[in-house]
Amino acid sequence: MPVTRFAPSPTGPLHIGHAHSALFARQMAAGGTMLLRLEDIDITRCRPEYAAAIEADLAWLGLACPVPVRRQSEHFAEYRQALERLIARGLAYPCFCTRAQLAAAMAAPHAGEPAYPGTCRTLAPAERAERIAGGAAHGWRLDVAAALAETGPLTWRDLDHGVIAAAPLECGDVLIARKDIPASYHLAVTWDDALQGVELVTRGADLFAATHIHRLLQALLDLAVPAWRHHPLLLDAQGRRFAKRDRAR
């Protein structure tokens, strides 16, 4: 009877794709526990009214979850501590790139998705320190090659695909902390899954590749390793996945 979780971002109402994902998580719990986690680190887009509506809709669907519900926006200090551990070991570096610079540098797809080309990885320590001291906005990126040199080869288990060799290099040096928040999706979700005792991570197939990075973070932070299962996405009549930005029903 595993512990699973449904972890939407409250940036809009629950849509049919969310309902599918929540039902999948409940079914995979198979008599265990499905937790609800509100991934609201994007404080500019997340709204309390959307969070309340998501909980109400899940209850209406017969998918009510245990309380209290973990809200990521209440735990920035924890993510900062995890980030500082990686920085202290030389496994993360500041990234000063603007959105425009990233768009230009990442125009060519890498392994199916744009990957960060390492623009700020080669900055001298003195230049990094000078920019930070001068108040330059910056996020933090995981130095994936350095991290893998420390952990060695890793694997993870997907219930549909078996044991998979982790290939985080294909994802590039992902952001683990944003310019305005001491975490990114990758760091926060990995930390929370371990903290909440999630034994089976269920989520959409669009996040399959992200699991390579999450497995690496687990090894670096000495976190428990769950199993994963990625469900197919529900698509609309035009073959697009349901999304809040499209006001999906």
Active-site residue list:
244
End-to-end, the C-alpha distance of the chain in Å comes to: 32
CA gap 176, 185 in Å, rounded: 7
Pairing of strands 162-165, 155-158: antiparallel
Report how far Cα 154 is from the mean position of its chain's Cα atoms: 19
> Burial, 109: exposed, middle or buried (Cβ in 10 Å; 0-12, 13-18, 19+)?
exposed
Q: What is the amino acid identity at position 5?
A: R
CA gap 43, 100 in Å, rounded: 22
